[in-house]
Amino acid sequence: MTATSGSGGRPDRGTADREIVISRAIGAPRHLVFEAFTEVRHLSQWWGPDGFTTTTRSFEFRAGGVWAFVMHGPDGTDYQEWITFIEIVPPERIALVHGESGDDPNAFTSVLTFAPEGARTRVVMRTVFPTAELREEAVAKYHAVEGGEQTLSNLASYVTALAAGADPDQDAAAEAAPDGNTANGNTTDGSTSKGAQD
- Is residue 85's pLDDT more than 50? yes
pLDDT tens per residue, range 97-133: 999 999 999 999 999 999 999 999 999 999 999 999 9
Contact 123, 27 (CB under 8 A): no
In the three-class reduction of DSSP (H, G, I as helix; E, B as strand; rest coil), residue 166 is classed as coil
More confident residue, 193 or 168: 168
Q: What is the pLDDT of residue 8?
A: 52
Contact 125, 148 (CB under 8 A): yes
Q: Long-range contacts for 10-15 (Cβ within 8 Å, ≥24 apart)?
A: 12/126, 12/128, 15/128
Q: What percent of the chain has pLDDT over 90?
A: 76
Q: How confident is the model at residue 182 (pLDDT cuts 50, 70, 90)?
A: very low
Q: What is the pLDDT of residue 166?
A: 73
Q: How confident is the model at residue 10 (pLDDT cuts 50, 70, 90)?
A: low
pTM above 0.85, yes or no: no
